[in-house]
Amino acid sequence: MTSVTEETTAPVLAAAAAAAAAAGLTQKRVPIPPRGVDYRGKIVLAPMVRSGELPSRLLALHYGADLVWGPETIDRAMIGTTRRVNPRNHCIEWTRVPTNNVKKELFDESVIYRIDPVREAGRHIFQIGTSDPARAVECAKLVAADVSGIDVNAGCPKPFSTHAGMGAALLRTPEKLVSILEALVAEIKPAFDIGISVKIRLLETPAETEALVRRLCATGITGLTIHCRTTPMRPRERAIRGQLRMIADVCHEFGVACLVNGDVEGRDHALELMAEYGTDGAMIATCAEKNGSCFRAKADGGLATWEEAVAKYVRFAMEVENKFHNTKFMLTQMVPGKSPKYRELTPCKSYGKIIEVLGLTGDEELVEMARRTDELMKLVTLDGSSSSSSSGNDKSKVEAAGDDKKKHDLTNNVAQQENLKRKREDGDEDTEKQQPPPSMRINVSEAGEAATTAATSVAEQQSSQPVAAAVAAS
C-alpha cells in the first residue's frame, strides 16, 4: 500500500526535477553505494547534542522520520572506544572508562555512542566532529559497518565544537574541510559501501557560499545539508532562504542531494519548502526536539499531544537504558513550561517517579519496566533509599544508597543548569522563571566540567537506555 508520505513526496521530487530541467541544469546523480542511502525525498532528524540520543531518534522514526542523524560525536572521543552488544536490549554501544573525575565518580564506564541495529537499520547517519582527515577516517572506521552514512559537521557554532577548529570553524578553513571529505570518500566510501555527506551554514555572501558548495560537491559526497543561517546567527533569528535555490541548483549540477535545515516545522512544511526551493529533502531540529511527531503528515494524524509523545519517549528511553539525566533533560524540552508536570519532574530521581508524575502508573508493564531500569541503573527513589529491595540493617547498602543519592543529585543539578544556560544562550524569555532555587545551584565548572567541555564531554552525553515498545501504537 502506498502511504500518504510517499504520495506527497513523489510529486515534490518530480516538480523539482522538472524545474531543474527547465532551467537547463544537468540531471545527473552521484551513485549511491550499496549500503548507503539516497537523501532525496527524505525528511530527516537533525544532529543535536543531548537531544539526538537514541530514544529521541526512535521517537522520530516512530512518527515517520525517513532518516535520523546521531548527535555530533567528536573523533577523539570515539577513538579508543570498545564496541559491544548490550545483552539486554541488543543495542550496539561504544564505551570507554571516563576520563573526567566527576564522571568517574558517577559512572564505571561511559557509553559514548549507542545505536539500535534493528529499528535504525538503513536509516542512521553518524555525524563526526573533526578537524583532521586522519582522525576523521580513524573515527569513521569504528562505526561505518553499523551505520548507513557518515556526515561531517561543518556548521555547529557552539564553542565545544569550534574551539578545536571543528564545526562552523571549518567554514573558515575550506581547504581543511575539503581534505577531510576527500579522505572519507577515498577510504570509507569504497571500504564500507556507504556515502559521505556534509552539513554547513551560509557564508556572508552568496558568491562565497556558492564557491564553497562547488568545492564540497566536487569531493565525491552524496549529500549536502545547508542550515540557512550564518555562523553568528542564533536559533531565535529567522532562517535566511534567499540563497537556498542557488545552493540546490549547484548541488544538482554535481548530482549531489541537497537538504534544507533551519526553521523547518514539520513534514508538511518540509514538503512545501522542497517544492518552493527545489531541495531534495529537509532536516528538522528544534520542532523535533519539542515533539517528535512533527514528522507525521497532517493527513496521517499530524502533531500528537505532548502527553502522547512524552509517554512514548519515556518508554523508548527505558528500553535503550538511556542515561537518566539525559532523559530528564529531554523531558524539560518536551513538557510545556507552564504545565504543572514540568515542575513536578524537577525533583524526580528515578524512572519510577517519572512514570508516577506523568500519570502512567495504570500501565503495569511500564511500571515494571521502570522498576527494572531503576534497579539496573541504581537510581534512587524520592526518599533517598535504593530503588532495589535491600535490608535496612545492611550498613553497606545504606551507605551505597546515600552515595547514589548524592551522585544523582549532582547529575540532576548539572543537567538542570546546563538546560538553563542553553536557553539563555538561545534567548528564551522564560529562562529566569525556571531558575533553580539557591539550594539546588552548584558550581558547574567544578561539578560538571565534562558536560560543557569538548570531545569526551559531548560524546559521553550521547547515550541511551531501554526496556519495551511504545505506549500504544498510534
Query: Which residues, at least 6 apart from 428, have a Cβ–Cβ distance to it below 8 Å?
Result: none
Pairing of strands 92-96, 82-85: antiparallel
Query: Which residues, at least 6 apart from 231, have a Cβ–Cβ distance to it below 8 Å?
Result: 155, 157, 168, 171, 201
Give the chain's end-to-end CA distance (angstroms, integer).
Answer: 18
**Percent helix, strand and coil across the chain, each rounded to 5?**
50, 15, 40
List residues with catalytic annotation.
156
Give the whole-angstrom CA distance, residue 424 versus residue 415.
Answer: 14
Query: Which residues, at least 6 apart from 394, have a Cβ–Cβ distance to it below 8 Å?
Result: none
Other CB atoms within 10 Å distance of the CB of residue 231: 19
- For 73, the 3-state DSSP assignment is strand
Q: At what angle do helices 324-334 and 395-425 cross, to 10 degrees?
A: 40
Q: At what angle do helices 174-187 and 206-217 cross, to 10 degrees?
A: 20
Burial zone of 177 (CB within 10 Å; 0-12 exposed, 13-18 middle, 19+ buried): buried
The backbone region for 25, taken as left when phi is positive above 0, alpha when psi lies in -120 to 50, beta otherwise, is beta
Taking the CA atoms of 98, 104, 109 and 110 in sequence, report the sign of the dihedral they define. Answer: negative
